[in-house]
């Protein structure tokens, strides 16, 4: 029994975990669920901002606000960082910019649930690569089937070419983000790594967002994006940053398979994007994969 518990814990937490492993893993799961809800409902509520200043413009303003908030709160000691820490923050910031810009450009063109389903291919790949042996491969396969069902409305594929490309770009960014966020969490104290990475993300997004913002900027839009920055990306990044300190990337990737279901729900509640029976079945498959991954890892 002890050996089984040790094996289960190692799948979700860091190797060599102590007796507080279960508590740390439970807290990490809560962080992930809160993060996913914040991302999806924040994304759905971002539609007015994107219509006013464009997807890139709204994303750039959110990243800038989030970086400013966190830098004021954390006050990172820039002059004390090593070369390895700067490289880690720079890499994570670039990945954050790619993931966020592509995701919001995608949901401006295709339904939220579909964009999230495609984006999920990133963490799905991470789960397969880092935890892919034996029965652990079954959960990502089930989740992949759910993703395909979510992409089909019962009569046709719900997408346009540019929306699809942006969603796949977000998937690549999300996969890299999981790995790099884990690395940054190990190299920085507290939320320092996240604060510096967000600064770089805002800088990388500036060339893409500045031109769009100039055409529709207003004081009300500035206040709106400041509020949205808390929902996306500040709160989710902070929660995921803390979660990845408490669990393995493979477990994080499997748990995040709930994201398409939450995204589809947010799209329906906030934007009125109804689901077909085929898509509801896809949501059920994705949730089944997530639940199975959690239960089997703790069995």
Could you tell me the residue ranges of all domains in the chain? Answer: 22-298
Helix axes 47-74, 219-229, angle to 10 degrees: 60
Q: Which residues contact 189 (CB under 8 A, 6 or more apart)?
A: none
Calculate what percentage of the chain has a pLDDT beyond 70.
Answer: 84
DSSP single-letter state for residue 1: -
Burial 148-184 (b: 16+ CB within 10 A, else e): ebbbbbeeeebbeeebbbbbbbbbbbbbbbbbbbbbb
pLDDT mean across residues, the chain:
82
Say how far apart CA 187 and CA 192 lie, in whole Å: 9
Pull the structure tokens for residue 248.
């393995």
- The dihedrals phi and psi of 108, each to the nearest 5 degrees, come to -75, -15
- pLDDT number for residue 250: 67
Mean pLDDT of 79-91: 95
Residue that is written with structure tokens 């540019």 in the block: 162
Q: Is the pLDDT of residue 7 over 80?
A: no
For residue range 152-174, list pLDDT tens digits in order: 877 777 767 899 899 999 999 98
Q: Is the pLDDT of residue 199 over 50?
A: yes
**In terms of DSSP H, where are the helices of the chain?**
2-12, 21-44, 47-74, 83-107, 112-119, 121-131, 138-150, 161-187, 192-216, 219-229, 235-243, 249-255, 259-271, 277-298
Q: What is the CA radius of gyration of the chain?
A: 19
Mean pLDDT of 34-52: 89
- pLDDT number for residue 52: 86
What predicted TM-score, i.e. pTM, was given to this entire model? Answer: 0.80
Closest to 63 in 3D by CA, of 190, 210, 170, 183: 210
């Amino acid at each position: 029994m002890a050996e089984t518990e040790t094996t289960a814990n190692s799948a979700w937490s860091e190797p060599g975990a102590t007796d507080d492993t279960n508590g740390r893993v439970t807290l990490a799961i809560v962080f992930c669920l809160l993060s996913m809800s914040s991302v999806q409902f924040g994304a759905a509520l971002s539609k007015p901002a994107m219509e006013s200043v464009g997807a890139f413009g709204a994303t750039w303003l959110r990243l800038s606000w989030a970086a400013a908030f966190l830098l004021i709160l954390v006050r990172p000691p820039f002059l004390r960082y090593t070369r390895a820490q700067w490289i880690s923050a720079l890499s994570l910031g670039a990945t954050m910019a790619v993931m966020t810009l592509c995701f919001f450009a995608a949901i401006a063109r295709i339904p939220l649930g579909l964009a999230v389903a495609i984006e999920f291919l990133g963490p799905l790949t991470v789960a397969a690569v880092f935890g892919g042996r034996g029965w652990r491969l079954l959960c990502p396969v089930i989740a992949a089937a759910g993703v395909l069902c979510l992409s089909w409305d019962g009569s046709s594929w719900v997408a346009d070419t540019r929306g699809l490309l942006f969603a796949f770009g977000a998937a690549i960014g999300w996969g890299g983000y999981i790995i790099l966020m884990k690395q940054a969490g190990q190299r920085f104290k507290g939320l320092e790594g996240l604060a510096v990475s967000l600064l770089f993300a805002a800088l990388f997004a500036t060339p893409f967002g500045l031109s769009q913002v100039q055409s529709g900027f207003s004081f009300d839009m500035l206040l709106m994006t400041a509020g949205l920055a808390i929902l996306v990306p500040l709160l989710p990044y902070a929660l995921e940053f803390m979660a990845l300190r408490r669990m393995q990337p493979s477990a994080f990737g499997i748990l995040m398979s709930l994201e398409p279901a939450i995204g589809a729900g947010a799209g329906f509640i906030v934007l009125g994007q109804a689901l077909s029976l085929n898509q509801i079945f896809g949501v059920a498959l994705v949730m089944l994969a997530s639940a199975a991954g959690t239960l089997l890892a703790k069995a």
